Amino acid sequence: MNHPYETVRLPIYDQLQALVQAGGSRESVLARALSSLLSQFNSETGTIHRLDGKGQLLKLLAQQGLPPQLLDVVSTIPVGKGIAGQVAAQNRPVTLCNLQTDASGVAKPGARQTGVGGALCVPIRRDGVLVGTLGVGTRREYEYTLQETAWLEDAGQLLASWCGE
């Protein structure tokens, strides 16, 4: 994916591409990819959701770092609800500098239980069509840059084929 502000490719792009091309089960590929991305972004939490066939719900495919009590909440997210739901509804990235103090209404009250400060979630697109969302979050307050947003979108592009029905 080319962005006007993109100056450098995702530092782990080749590693991520090799991981995706190596194959395996969807669960293992996405878990390894998410782990690599969290390391790259110095983040503690991450999620990958796929959009259901009717385009109304996001279904959790992979996660790392979420508290067990939230897994039921994030396993199915209505489009338009919460951060990932807003990304799917608007088909554009959503970022928050500090989820704990956000007053925009994008983050739902239950999201604060994650302990996440800075959060970034981007659409996953295959051939320009939204197929899911990819999110990372860190416990510290953090404002993701345009470059980091472009990197995460590129990672989403690589993972798109693993997010289908």
Q: Does domain 13-162 have CATH number 3.30.450.40?
A: yes
Element (H, E) at 157: helix 146-159
For tokens 């669960």, the residue is 27
Report phi then psi at 130, rounded to 5.
Answer: -65, 125
Tokens of 67: 């508290």
pLDDT at 100: 45
- Pick out the chain residues at pLDDT < 50: 1, 6, 98-103, 108, 112-113
Domain extents for the chain?
Answer: 13-162
For tokens 């897994």, the residue is 71
Could you tell me if 159 and 124 are in contact, meaning their C-beta atoms sit under 8 angstroms apart? yes
